[in-house]
Amino acid sequence: MAGGSPPAPWGWAVVGGAFLQSGLVFGGLRALGLCLGALGGSFGGGAGAVAWVGSAAIAALQLGGPLASSLSTRFGARPVVMAGGFLTGLGFLLGAFATHLAHLYLSVGLLAGLGWALVFTPSLGTVGRYFPARRALATGLAMSGASVSGLALGPLVPLLLDTYGWRGALLLMAAVSFNLLVAGALLRPLDAPNESPGPARGRRGLRRLLRHGPFLRYALAFVLVDAGYYVPYVHGPARAHEVGCDERRAGLVMAATALADGSGRVVAGWLAARPAAPLLRHLFGWSALTGLALLLLPLGTSFGGLLALALAYGFCAGAVVPLQFTGVAEVVGAGRLLHAIGLMQMFESFGSLLGAPLAGWLRDLTGDFTASFLAAGAFLLAGSLLILTLPGFFRTSRGDGGKGGGHGLAPGEAPPVSPSTL
């Protein structure tokens, strides 16, 4: 792909495939949160113990990022994504037959989470390759699939739980997750005759990123962001029950959050393509607003109040997502986008692994979710402040953030390669 423009019409088919994949991955993650909320005392333990299952799935998704990027570089995105879809469906299938909490850690937490990693990282990198000049918009459209699926699953999963119980709901989620194999088939590889990735080049790229100061600060920022970001998605249903909502209203709150999330992803991608300000300023603004919205969530003490605050949080949180992954190219250059996304996800897993269980522990300690949401909002604001330290944040002219230029080269490094050689 010499000129940097996506081949028509398959570039948009790739976005469609990534749309389906993000929907099945993050919709599955939110459905898992509702299923875990229905476990109650089935296996013993409090809210913190149950939250570790969802947190383990998120951590596996992110820790598997470098593995997914390496496998995708070696074998191509399509087979890796299809293998990930199979593992995800298998994890939910095995989880439906769990008889101990440890079984859920291994099946839904580890196996399904690793499958999600093999789906998410390669699909996102493929979208970036097809749309180097409009990466933020294409990424926002692709990742809005998570919100569409969340909108559908929010009211549907409580009905499934009422009808079939949590085991039946996990079985149905397994059947849905196996459709990732079909979505993965849409990730048509680009023709790149001069491409010679090889394991050695991949290892060199990872070593360079580990010595890249701005990238490490960027990754640390999202370790802190992720320590708070997922708390409303994991504990949102339990918070809704806490303020007196039944299963149906809790599902409506989560569905509304998902709708707002999808709108935020598309709007932020569209605004980031405007030349008004550097992309990193957009990212800082949205992440700071997300932290503030999270700090206000404890004020929602009724269904109406919680719904309004959940809408605000969902919109701002959704806006962060496409800018986070597009911002990687701003920091390191587009030539190392795939490896940088995988490595950043691995670092993020530490925040994700901490956040939801810490919120559950604070809930068990204090008796409600107020302290949990305040701590989560503080993590998000701290991560936002780190974005201020990145090169180019205060520059007055902005690049497109997607053509591989950027300002992320370490001293003595070669310029980034073209997007077609990712």
235-274: per-residue pLDDT in tens? 888 888 888 888 778 878 877 887 888 888 888 888 877 6
Where does residue 198 rank: exposed (0-12), middle (13-18), buried (19+ CB within 10 A)?
exposed
pLDDT at 221: 94
In a domain, 267, yes or no: yes
pLDDT at 313: 95
In a domain, 222, yes or no: yes
- Rounded to whole angstroms, the Cα distance separating 295 from 356 reads 15
Dihedral of CA 381/389/139/273: which sign?
positive
- Name the residue among 362, 349, 71 with its Cα closest to residue 219: 349
Those residues of the chain that have pLDDT short of 50 are 1-8, 193-200, 397-422
- Rounded to whole angstroms, the Cα distance separating 127 from 368 reads 41
The helix (H) or strand (E) run that includes residue 9 is none
DSSP tag of 109: I
Q: How many domains does the chain have?
A: 1
pLDDT at 48: 60
pLDDT at 156: 82
In a domain, 202, yes or no: yes
In a domain, 204, yes or no: yes
The helix (H) or strand (E) run that includes residue 115 is helix 113-130
- Residue with structure tokens 């005759």? 193
Convert 137-157 to b/e letters by CB count within 10 Å (16 or more is b).
Answer: bbbbbbbbbbbbbbbebbbbb
CATH of the domain at 245: 1.20.1250.20
Tokens of 104: 């859920």
pLDDT at 150: 66
In a domain, 421, yes or no: no
- Rounded to whole angstroms, the Cα distance separating 318 from 337 reads 21
Convert 339-356 to b/e letters by CB count within 10 Å (16 or more is b).
Answer: bbbbbbbbbbbbbbbbbb
pLDDT at 203: 67
Angle among Cα 310, 113, 314 to the nearest 5 degrees reads: 10
Max CA pair span of the chain: 62
In a domain, 18, yes or no: yes
In a domain, 2, yes or no: no
Q: How many C-beta atoms surround the C-beta of residue 108 within 10 A?
A: 30
- Rounded to whole angstroms, the Cα distance separating 76 from 69 reads 9
Say if pTM beats, i.e. exceeds, 0.85: no
In a domain, 123, yes or no: yes
What is the residue range of 315's domain?
A: 11-188+198-410
For residues 64 and 119, is the Cβ–Cβ distance under 8 A?
A: no
